[in-house]
Each structure stands twice: as structure tokens, then as C-alpha cells.
Structure 1
């Protein structure tokens, strides 16, 4: 019998007439540690924010580890870099970030080594190890990855009399003009601030260029200038959307999903957008190798978003390790894949995915040969500048724009 009912029996109903009893649970033990986790938002709006995904992990984790609370802060991708940089500049260090990894934080001694905060570094996808390293030591944990391919609308192609996807830049121009003549956007060219650095690099690769060669910055190389000149011709001919420098990847993904664009370089994240729109049928969608100057490129851009752990005052290392071991389980890796159709960051999850998902298996298999962004401390500044001004290289003087970015890279090196 509860203490309340024992008391009632002793006092009697008359004495209890003006009393009410309620059982009060003992207070839950306050968390000994609170982790601040700052993540980029992969969602498309309030109903699809990554906040929900990370809060799910946080709830599961705290249920298993009640002395560790987890506070999630989600930041729009367009603002992620600058806001994290501002936090660091103000010494308001997050404990964990998930998004871009910048080796300058490791260079400044702000990050934990992966081996200090993760129990199984060998399970992280090896192709991205160098990109997440500084001075030969790995600081970034690949959390989600992706590879690129040319996406094209087979129905639009058929209406325009195109029988096969383009393999060269000349074929892109020819096909895009045919598509434009049918009232559709020929080629989607996202050079807006969201991910201009990716689209630009894909075109540079197609002409034997890139951001670096043999560890040296070559942003304004003759190959890259020629590439921007060819891209300018495509835009001036009206074969792309107007003003590519103002268009983000997700803007054009939405238009592609609505059947308004004939072709564009894309990634697996485009697939759920297509499915959600409900306009294109499976038979309408085609993928192919990305076209280069003289033929399809034999490499593609492999992108990896990293988790990094900041040392802060040095008191949270054990809690951080527990959380990262928990968050990197195959279950949560695959949950993320199924929610956003990105690829995993761990080998075990990638193996499981390739066995069970025929649509994503080709992208998983392409990752080992992926080209990646420069592993250089100054990349943070260079990337931001590319996002801000590369659209202005679509014009009469692309070299001056590329040289401006090159000078930023050299000054920071």
C-alpha cells in the first residue's frame, strides 16, 4: 500500500476532505556534461530539417547515457562556414561540428585527433582520410559522402531528338540548344553561393584542370581560364538558366525534378527531390558520366562532409568519444542515407548499402576514385570566395576573377 493511502486510512475520510494527494517523481539526475553539436542542415525546409535527425540521435544517446546531455544547433548550409568561423574567432567553440572540415582548425591546435575521440578509425572510408587530415594526422571523421554524375531527362531528350547523353562540351552545347528550342532549360549550371565550388571543379576536371596541381594552387591556370570561357559561351547562347551566379544547386534540383531542365550535374541527393515532386517517372531519368572537353571524365568529384571535435577546455573528451561512437553506428549512418540519399562515411555502412540498394550501389562503387577538394588550411577562405564571386567569371574577363581567387589562396598559404 502506498504511503498516501496509509495516511488516508489513519486520518479518515473527514479529515481528508480538504486535502489532495499526488505522487511526485524524484527529480531526474542533472547531466554532468552538455555537448554542443553544431550541424549543417541537409533538409529542404522546416518540415525536412536535419535538426530532427540529430535530435533523434541525441535522445537515443542521452537515454543510454543520462549523465551526458546533447544540445543540437542546425545551421543552413549557406551560412554554415561563416557562422562556425565566427564561433571559433570568438572562442565560443562547439564541441562537435558536422559539415565542412577545415584543416586550419587542426593547424591551430583546436581539434582532437580522430584516434582520441573515436574507437574505430579503421572503419572510416579510407579515400577521405587524407582530406580529413593535417600533417599526416586525421582530425576529420567522414560522416556523409557523395559522388557526382550527369543527370538527364530522357523525355526531354526524346522530344528534342537527342538519342544519347552528351560526352563532350560541344555535344552539351548542341544538345542544350535543341532543348532550349523546345522551351526548356538546356543545362542547369548552379554557380550560386550554396555549392559553386563543386560545379566549378567538375568543369575544371573536364579540361585537365583543378584548384591545385602537385600541391600548388593553379586556380587561374590556362586550362581553367579556357574552361570558364567555354562556360560563358554556353550561358551567353541562352543554353542555361539566366544568371547562373545567382542559382543554387537546390534551386535547380527543384526545377529538374519539375521537368524544366534537360540535364545537369547532380548527385544522389537529387533522387529524393525527384521522387517527392512526383513529376518524373523512373523511365524519364537517366544518369551518365560527366562530359568533359573531349570526352567523358574518368573521375568524378567525391565530396565528404566531416565531423570534427573541438578541444575547448579539454574536459569533454570522454563524453565526445561516447557520442561519436554512438552516432556513427551503421543504423544512424543508413538512417541518414535513407532520409537524404547521401552516401555513408563508414565502410561497414557502405558495404551494407551496396548490397541492399541497387540505385545507390553505382555511386558507392565510384567513391574510391573520387577527386576531392584541396586539403589545405586556406581552403576555407578560397571556398568562400569561390562561392561569392565565381559567377562573375561568366563574362568577358574570367581570368581576372580566377586570379583574384588565386591571390587569396597564395596569401593564405
Structure 2
């Protein structure tokens, strides 16, 4: 999956260059930085570049905004023939490029880059073979976004703090005429993933370099079962054979009769833009756990930053990253509505209800398996097909899970 940012979310190493250079290093050089569209506010990047150029006389930053569409081929070309000195990668893309040996090992620079406060999920996905190649940039995670007025009409005075309370609240919401208690498409597998992890399960396990699916387990089946309980209890109008993008769930919620959905703050912004009459009527809470008082683990989608192994400006690239990973600029990312990658200070997110819920959920954030093969699993995701088959009764729980498990293991074991 590529990064999520404030838009939709989706991403032989050279020597370390002797560590970060001093603040006075410079010369007539150009440092080329590639970031993805929507990842960071222009003002923040401009301020970083200004501080960097002031500390490095003669060095100019060439900042280029890239589009996610087609970025894979563009990165592959750049990482083999040269170009940028700092790049942004979707967190699930890093393993692909790390395993190909095209990124710089930055293990010796982690302390300089605020490594003690890195988001663990993005840090793990930026590592390969015991070395660190990706530096956490930012992340975002799903929360439950709900209509406060409709919850009040149903007699719900506080957000649920467990799965049982959540189901009970959905039952109450069914009593409000004309209201869809929860819009939950049948193939929203990232939501399902929270339930898998909450049950103590994993997507896949490894033995050496060999990976295999782990979803055919008691935890995997319990995750499918709870997903079905949410769908059945809410009586959702969402299609069982599509995900949250078909149709865009924000378009559905904007019609005004949906009491809750599971998504991102930017989706709420889209709802309020499409239907201004709904502005100010929403609250948010972290995805509940089966254990009362806890939150379920969540998938942290986002981005890592990396230095191409073929750069001629490794020290300068590390110096630019020192600024980006500093508390000063990480707080600006948080103010933009995302979880900062290299800072535990998420207080700037508290200004919005979705931001506050996201920060709370992100403390229990996780990532997908760190293998370059995982991207191929998501490309033709067997979990989506299994969810539809189980929800529609096409397959039994055991058969749906078993088929998906076998398909994932086959993909993970396929030749590159």
C-alpha cells in the first residue's frame, strides 16, 4: 500500500558516507528532494529548505513534487540511473527497494535523525536484513467517525469502549428511522486487519527468507466472524463485494443518513465539503477492542523517507533529514492532520476530533509483513475475496479463510 497522507492513502546500498556532515558543509551543489503530492504542507517544506540552505552556503534544494500514479517505474529508473538525493516511499514499498540494494543504509545516522522517537511500525517497515534504510515520515490510521446528533437520538451518550458496546450501539441506531448505523463495505480489509491483530493473529510469518500466510487460525476466523457481526448487526447499506473506494464512502456519508463509518480525517473533510450542513456534527473514537477499555491495533499507512544508494550527496541528504525529523517540523506535520513519524508529541492533533482519536489509536499501530512480496498479495488481495464470499454465504467461514490463506502463501512463495 502507498502512503495515505492527506490524500488517499497508498510505496547494493552504497556506504553510509561517513555519517552526517557538519552544519557548515556546502559548496556549489544541488540537493534534489522528491516528496509525494499531499504529503507535507508547502510552507513546511519551504521552511526546511530555507533553514537547510542557510546552514549550507552554496547548496540549493531542488524540491520536486511527485504523483503516486506511475511513481513505481519513475523510482526504479531514478534508483538505477541517478536523480534525487532524498525520496519518499510508501511504507509498504520500502522492502522492495531495500531488498534490491538501491537504498542507502542509514543505520549509523538514526540517533541524529531522532531515532529514539520513531514510529515503530514505520521503523520496522524501513528495515531490511538488520539494517535501516527507511526513516519514518508520517502516518495515518483509521478511526470510527460518527454523527453525534444521531447517536444522541439513539440514546447513546458516550462512544463505545469495547466490541460488545459497539455492537449494542449499532443495535440502538437501527431504531432511528432512515439511518444507516454503520457504513461498512464488505471488502474493507484494513478494518478487518484491526480485528485480526486484536485477536492476537498475524497476516504472515517467516522462517528465514520464507514467508507463509498465518490467517488460517483461530484469530483469523474470529476476525472474519466479528466483521460479519458488524455487517449483520448494522444492516449496512454498503456493498458486500466492494471496498471503501467503490463508491467513495465519503460520497455516501455526505448524503446525510449515515450514523458512522470507519475512515480518515480527510474523508470527513470531503463529507463536510460536499454537504456543508453536516459540518460540526461529527465526533470520532478509536476502533474498539474486544477487551473493554482498550483500542484495537490499527494499520499505520504512511511514508518513509530514504536516500538513494547512488546519491553523490549522502552527507547533505542526511543533514536535510535532520531538519525534517526535528521536533520543530514534526509538529508542523501533526498540525497538518497526520501522525508525525519521528516524534511522540502528537498534541497538535488534539485540535480536531478525528486527529485526537487517530493519535490515540496510533499508539497501537502496526504494519504489514516486511517482504517485497507483500505488494503482490495486495495487488490481487485474497482477503477481499474471502470477506465477500463469507458475508454473502458463497463460502463457509472455514473454506473462505482456507482459500485466502492458500492464495497468500502461494504469492509469498512465488518467484520474484
TM-score (norm 1): 0.70
Alpha-carbon distance in 2 for matches of 1:361, 1:393: 30
Aligned: 1:305 with 2:297: no
> Given the superposition, is the C-alpha separation of residues 370 and 171 from structure 1 closer, same or farther in structure 2, using an over 3 Å criterion?
closer
Aligned partner (choices 207, 212, 220) of residue 204 of structure 2: 212
CA distance in 1, matches of 2:74, 2:156: 49
Q: Which runs of 5+ in 2 are unaligned?
A: 1-26
Give the conservation status (yes or no) of the 8 Å contact 1:217–1:410.
Answer: no
Specify which structure has the bigger relative contact order, considering alpha-carbon pairs within 8 angstroms and separated by 6 or more residues. 2
The match for 1:158 among 148, 152, 160 is 152
Would you say 1:127 and 2:127 are equivalent positions? no
1:46-57 aligned within 5 A: 52=42, 56-57=46-47
Question: Secondary structure of 2:101's match?
Answer: coil
Does the C-alpha gap of structure 1 residues 410 and 261 become closer, same or farther in structure 2, counting only changes over 3 Å?
A: farther
Tell me, what secondary structure is at the counterpart of 2:220?
A: helix
CA distance in 1, matches of 2:246, 2:156: 25
Distance 1:264 1:321 in 2: 40
CA distance in 1, matches of 2:168, 2:360: 30
CA shift, 1:317, in A, is: 0.9
TM-score (normalizing by structure 2): 0.69
Partner of 1:394: helix, strand, or coil?
A: helix
Deviation per CA, 1:250-297, whole angstroms, max 9, x where unpaired?
932454466442223345555655665644465x43434424567675
What SS is found at the alignment partner of 1:306?
strand
Q: Which moved more, 1:213-222 or 1:320-329?
A: 213-222
Distance 1:392 1:362, change over 3 A: closer
Superimposed CA distance per residue, residues 8-31 of structure 1 (whole angstroms, 9 cap, x where no aligned partner): xxxxxxxxxxxxxxxxxxxxxx96
Label 1:358 to 1:151 Cα distance change in 2 as closer, same or farther (>3 A).
closer
Contact 1:112 1:309 in 2 (8 A): yes
Q: Does 1:108 align with 2:100?
A: yes
Number of the residue aligned with 1:380: 375
Deviation at 1:324, TM superposition (A): 1.6
* 1:244 Cα offset (Å): 5.9
Greater alpha carbon shift after TM alignment, 101-110 vs 154-163:
154-163
Cα 1:265–1:300, aligned 2, differ >3 Å: closer, same or farther? farther
Output aligned runs, 1:3-402, within 5 Å: 32-39=29-36, 41-42=38-39, 52=42, 56-57=46-47, 60=50, 64=54, 65=56, 66-76=58-68, 79=69, 83-84=71-72, 87-88=75-76, 91=80, 94-101=84-91, 102-115=94-107, 119-125=112-118, 127-128=120-121, 129-162=123-156, 165-166=159-160, 167-168=162-163, 172=167, 175=170, 178-179=173-174, 182-189=177-184, 196-212=188-204, 217-228=213-224, 231-232=227-228, 235=231, 238-243=235-240, 245-248=242-245, 251-253=248-250, 255-256=252-253, 259-269=256-266, 272=269, 278-280=276-278, 282=280, 284-292=281-289, 298-301=295-298, 303=300, 305-339=302-336, 341-347=337-343, 350=345, 353=348, 357=351, 360=355, 363-364=358-359, 367-386=362-381, 390=384, 393-395=387-389, 396-397=394-395, 398-399=400-401, 400-402=403-405
RMSD: 4.2
Aligned counterparts of 1:371 and 1:31: Cα–Cα separation in 2:
42
**Which segments of 5 or more consecutive residues in structure 1 lack a partner in the other structure?**
1-29, 43-49
8 Å contact 1:246–1:391 — kept in the other structure?
no
C-alpha separation in 2, matches of 1:160 and 1:412: 54
